[in-house]
Structure 1
């Protein structure tokens, strides 16, 4: 009897287990694929890639690059319907273009227990021009509903063998199985890069002899590789990150050397020494950087004759800032021309910063250009030169043995300050005599917010006082850009943001738009302090730094990139007068991030009739690796809880 029960239980368990598994082994749609309508590993997923594969190889006859795609995707709920619209990008250059072929697509549904297969019709596939180099192929799968499984396969044929197809193992939905096969002839030598830090379940390669013939007895072997990832989690974007392209798990190819069947060799990927020579001769970079702009005819003699090198550099920087307007374009490798900028008084970031470089250089300031990639453009490759990774240019000035990083595109930037878009870890410092090198890109000016709130309880039992506020670095930049265009509107916005207080006599005390600090002060009066019987319940954090935790993911596999080191300081003083005593104060707080990379501290004291409170939050790193995520999440949870729930209770004598 026990054996029978055990056998029955085993059969039931195996049956339940089989019913909980999607078929991630191949392209075939099974009953389980249609019947299962949840993904337990990620309850937030709206769709699931059950199976996908890619296969790239060089065609033996046309020598074109062929890539065959297969995708099997489950729609879990209505929010996943957008995954039923597929877009394919086709590259074209001159007369050469990629071709889209052999599309087979269908939607598979369960309808009253019956399986329904709805094929995509040919007239549902649309082609449209995206830009000068790309055409889009778009199609939307028919009769998609919750629980549908969609399958589609197609082939891309490309004459651009140097653009060997990469493969994305990760997307914004989870994937159960993702496979990529690549067959590369031995006469094509690629730099192969695995991005994203995730491990491959399979990474195999073998050599296939004489896979490609070049005629007249010439041939090439092929290196056939298989890359597989399983159970790939969805990539979920969160605050404090650069572009997701830095972190998505994928494989990329960059052609290094091509060897022709005739014995010729073409070095596609250059060394930095060779690349520096090419940049020096480039019409948009090197030639523009070497041009004379006749700055002595543009700038007043007072600046030209300044003997203090730093003051002179600051004045020249301010001249470029105030005279030339950025047109919101980067245009690093476009038709950059300082001549056009001088004429039109408006130009790209490249033109403005090249002009800044040339004017400083003509006035004996030690300067060098730096190529960078902005935060939304991704990190540049450091292993070998990939010039297309860069999209922006800034200037390094060395004055009295101190280095300043300069960007003159924004009239509110102070000397030595970079806009947030440029804070992307590192760039390539160009030196056409000694050779280029990598250099760190960091904020030179500390970023902070400091509140000093000083209040008193008056004879008629009002709570009023003065607030002094100091912003530095990036925070000061944002403040300046909000204040100077319309000071009246700025004060109105402050008042609208704080309904429990009345604001008066607002004054900005910093030097102006060029100052790296923004200082302001104003008077406040509490409009509706919470009074119950003979008690006053007062929130000391009239101004809060954080009202919610920005870190909410169960797991984050990519770095937390603030862009700059940051500090938040809040001091609060309350003169109780002679009518009230303190009955309750907030609990002290003292928390730290691992390796002393951050501090959160709250301290409250009562000395006679004076109550003081001090809060300090500091992030000592601009970038935290993903291992810090759980600590940061707990850290921020404590900080938010402290600011939201801290109450001072006063009792009338």
Structure 2
């Protein structure tokens, strides 16, 4: 039995639990007396004990999965933990079964432990074409209750051995998974998430299975344990939870029958490359001159400058063909796209590949998995995990990634949905390989405020706003689709300032920038002759987006970005500066980000400058407490900074 286990750390020692909890299914009084979990005061429930055991039954040769769980209910919002659902899949010739459902609720009443068992009347089944859902509801649940349940699932579907989720919406004190896998089943085994295993033991059990005519199989018996697992709580600046939820998954690689037959289930990338080359939905749609004959106008074909020509071809596809929102590699036809003018992402980007290739550019498709679709597995090919295609071309020794589904993307920009770390670059000549999708340029958002007049207790001036990269896309889209609505929203966005005039100074749908300017009027707060002014007429962050006590998954912005803000106030004979905010210079670890807030006062003006910079598109979970503190400072400065002036 061969194991290919990723990201595994081996620990020999056991971690001691609090004396209030025991890591088994027994319920003791001290567990019921507990009212909270110190490591996560927000937890609705606490999984005390989580146990699984998967093995091949020696008599039926079915896969048996035994599940046991013990959960402490900490809040009323955790009552739904007592509503258990188990999905049983149906195949053409077999369907999964469930047996031995047991459950109980334990409460402390008058100092005594009272047990209420699950009734058979509380077990329900819902049938559909492809699965059966079994539901059971545990009785008498209260805040402080402990629930226990167990069941056994039986299955003949061995291609995907039973996965195990160590992590879920609640913190877990102890999670153990045991497996016994016959040697004639060779699985790829993948540990997902960055949480290390406390225990990772494996041994060989000889002759664990016996078949007719003396046939036997040895089994690999494994035990995996994690302890003190934080809850997976969704928060902003991340991709799908499937990327980071701690679990073990299995993919059948090779099955060896007792009769000597060998069935290779999982192929190599070399095999997959050949399949893709012959695929009618992929390889048969790539670099086919016959598909795009006469499509590209002569005025584009005659452009001599390579970059200008590539950009013109890109804009031609954006202008003439619309994306229908579909991303699947299914029924792909570049020919139909040319005829209908509407198509899937595969059709649109493979049309672009054909047009560029026909004009002499070297172009490679890259299969990617979008941000909401989980990261693609790297250790073995799973084509079903890829749901999108982008392109890569190199012009004058510079690489460009291309996607022609969104007319608000400039040449060389990718949709935010595709920024998911890496993809598989398909090269039918030299073989495919993994390509890191790295966005090098910073995306910027800049606001420059000038208050150059103070008359009749009002400031007047201008605000110039510049957006570039990913910060420009929404601005371009909203302005282009409805300029009137865009201005109305801009006016309604501000409560403390009045916009008198507004104009867009730089807007080109094909460029990665958007610049606008507005004339504004501001009536400051007076206390006597003193003016109290928050210099941030525009705020980047109204509140700290990071609120968790602990975060076990990366902070994924997708791209590097910079926020700039400056305000210049003209100081004449009518105004005196009494107080300005203290300067702040704060650096994230390893210079991965910075916060700068400073001021400059001279005889003519007061200038405040504020800059927030994130130098990484993705921050490891270890950065979370630093980012949280960093954003606390950012929000505090924007909300509480005060300039005090005196009217003469």
2:418 aligned with 1:412: no
1:484 alignment partner, SS class:
helix
2:393 alignment partner, SS class:
strand
2:346 alignment partner, SS class:
helix
Shift of residue 446, structure 1, vs aligned partner: 2.5
**In the aligned structure 1, how far is the partner of 2:268 from the partner of 2:376?**
15
Shift of residue 67, structure 1, vs aligned partner: 1.0
Aligned length: 632
Distance 1:488 1:145, change over 3 A: same
**In the aligned structure 1, how far is the partner of 2:379 from the partner of 2:143?**
46
**In the aligned structure 2, how far is the partner of 1:35 from the partner of 1:602?**
50
Distance 1:136 1:473, change over 3 A: farther
**In the aligned structure 1, how far is the partner of 2:321 from the partner of 2:441?**
24
Query: What is the CA deviation profile of residues 556-613 of structure 1, one whole-angstrom value per residue up to 9, with x for unaligned ones?
Result: 2222211100101112111123211211111111111122221211121112121111
Alignment of 1:42-81 (within 5 A): 42-81=40-79
1:434 alignment partner, SS class:
coil
Deviates more, 1:143-152 or 1:493-502: 143-152
Query: What is the CA deviation profile of residues 314-345 of structure 1, one whole-angstrom value per residue up to 9, with x for unaligned ones?
Result: 2222222223322222213x332323333433
Aligned counterpart for 1:617 among listed residues 609, 612, 621: 612
Aligned counterpart for 1:498 among listed residues 481, 486, 494: 494
Shift of residue 55, structure 1, vs aligned partner: 0.9
Distance 1:157 1:340, change over 3 A: farther
Which residue number corresponds to residue 515 of structure 1?
511
Which residue number corresponds to residue 471 of structure 1?
467
**In the aligned structure 2, how far is the partner of 1:233 from the partner of 1:602?**
35
Shift of residue 292, structure 1, vs aligned partner: 4.5
Shift of residue 114, structure 1, vs aligned partner: 6.5
**In the aligned structure 1, how far is the partner of 2:94 from the partner of 2:301?**
54
Which residue number corresponds to residue 632 of structure 1?
627
With normalisation by structure 1, the TM-score equals 0.92
Which residue number corresponds to residue 300 of structure 1?
297
**In the aligned structure 2, how far is the partner of 1:623 from the partner of 1:616?**
19
2:323 aligned with 1:326: yes
Contact 1:416–1:444 (Cα < 8 Å) also in 2:
no
Contact 2:40–2:549 (Cα < 8 Å) also in 1:
no
Contact 2:230–2:552 (Cα < 8 Å) also in 1:
no
**In the aligned structure 2, how far is the partner of 1:100 from the partner of 1:253?**
21
Contact 2:441–2:560 (Cα < 8 Å) also in 1:
no
Shift of residue 516, structure 1, vs aligned partner: 0.5
Distance 1:42 1:123, change over 3 A: closer
Which residue number corresponds to residue 250 of structure 1?
247
Shift of residue 471, structure 1, vs aligned partner: 0.5
**In the aligned structure 2, how far is the partner of 1:569 from the partner of 1:19?**
49
**In the aligned structure 2, how far is the partner of 1:458 from the partner of 1:50?**
65
Deviates more, 1:296-305 or 1:570-579: 296-305
Alignment of 1:100-139 (within 5 A): 100-111=98-109, 113=112, 115-122=114-121, 124-129=123-128, 134-139=131-136
1:451 alignment partner, SS class:
strand
Shift of residue 135, structure 1, vs aligned partner: 4.4
**In the aligned structure 2, how far is the partner of 1:553 from the partner of 1:280?**
47
Query: What is the CA deviation profile of residues 89-125 of structure 1, one whole-angstrom value per residue up to 9, with x for unaligned ones?
Result: 3334444433333322333444555624142335641
Aligned counterpart for 2:392 among listed residues 396, 404, 409: 396
Which residue number corresponds to residue 163 of structure 1?
160
2:268 aligned with 1:271: yes
**In the aligned structure 1, how far is the partner of 2:435 from the partner of 2:17?**
55
Distance 1:636 1:152, change over 3 A: same
**In the aligned structure 2, how far is the partner of 1:286 from the partner of 1:158?**
37
Distance 1:512 1:229, change over 3 A: same
Structure 1 gap ranges (5+): 1-16
2:421 aligned with 1:425: yes
Query: What is the CA deviation profile of residues 265-317 of structure 1, one whole-angstrom value per residue up to 9, with x for unaligned ones?
Result: 22222222222112212232222225446434333222232222222222222
2:559 aligned with 1:564: yes
Which residue number corresponds to residue 96 of structure 2?
98
With normalisation by structure 2, the TM-score equals 0.92
Structure 2 gap ranges (5+): 1-15
Shift of residue 185, structure 1, vs aligned partner: 0.6
**In the aligned structure 1, how far is the partner of 2:538 from the partner of 2:53?**
57
Which residue number corresponds to residue 6 of structure 1?
none
**In the aligned structure 2, how far is the partner of 1:640 from the partner of 1:86?**
41
2:207 aligned with 1:213: no
Distance 1:401 1:207, change over 3 A: same
Shift of residue 445, structure 1, vs aligned partner: 4.2
2:266 aligned with 1:280: no
1:410 alignment partner, SS class:
coil
Contact 1:371–1:427 (Cα < 8 Å) also in 2:
yes
Query: What is the CA deviation profile of residues 492-520 of structure 1, one whole-angstrom value per residue up to 9, with x for unaligned ones?
Result: 11221211111122111223222100111
**In the aligned structure 1, how far is the partner of 2:580 from the partner of 2:164?**
57
Which residue number corresponds to residue 10 of structure 2?
none
Shift of residue 224, structure 1, vs aligned partner: 0.8
Contact 2:587–2:593 (Cα < 8 Å) also in 1:
yes
Which of the pair has the greater relative contact order for Cα pairs under 8 Å at 6+ separation? 2
Contact 1:46–1:76 (Cα < 8 Å) also in 2:
yes
2:545 alignment partner, SS class:
coil
Deviates more, 1:586-595 or 1:381-390: 381-390
Contact 2:97–2:153 (Cα < 8 Å) also in 1:
yes
Shift of residue 635, structure 1, vs aligned partner: 1.8
